[in-house]
Amino acid sequence: MSAVRRTPSVSCVFVCHDGAGRLLLARRGPGARDEPGTWDTGAGALEFGESFEDAVTREVREEYAADPLEITLLGVRNVLRDSPPSHWVAVVFAVRVDPARVEIGEPHKFDRLDWFAADDLPQPAHSQLMATLALLPDRLPPAPPPGG
């Protein structure tokens, strides 16, 4: 029996924020790929030929039905998980969105969206949430003043 060649996938992970200190998190629904019932940031696979920014824009639109107002690269994580066995490279971004425009775009994956302060996060958290949020700077870039 020959061994199956396995390679890590590349995922664009995005921590959406409102520019005023709140983070947008989604609760994974019963149809989620893994860890249903846990709260997490958004993410999606990088498609062949796609830039990181295009992938993040596409995924934010799909998951949250909103357009990114600002995309900032935060860092990269090499994610190895035993249960379920998986390996991916997470390119992590902060994405400012308009809270008035956000809604669940993929109800088969998520059953709730909500805004949280970084020091008051919901439970249970997805197994990768805290490591992802550790890449956030102490202060996220603020939203520009109205008309500015």
Q: What tens digit of pLDDT does each residue of 70-85 get?
A: 999 999 999 998 877 8
Check: CB of residue 68 under 8 Å from CB of residue 58. Answer: no
- pLDDT band, residue 4 (cuts 50/70/90): very low
pLDDT at 3 over 60: no
**Average of per-residue pLDDT across 122-138:** 95
| Residue 92, H or E segment | strand 86-96
Residue 14, phi-psi category: left (phi > 0), alpha (psi -120 to 50), beta (remainder): beta
**Average of per-residue pLDDT across 2-30:** 89
Alpha-carbon distance 135 to 113, whole Å? Answer: 21
Check: CB of residue 47 under 8 Å from CB of residue 32. Answer: no
pLDDT at 90 over 50: yes
* pTM, to two decimals: 0.90
Check: CB of residue 57 under 8 Å from CB of residue 134. Answer: no
Average pLDDT, rounded, for the chain:
92
Alpha-carbon distance 122 to 116, whole Å? Answer: 8
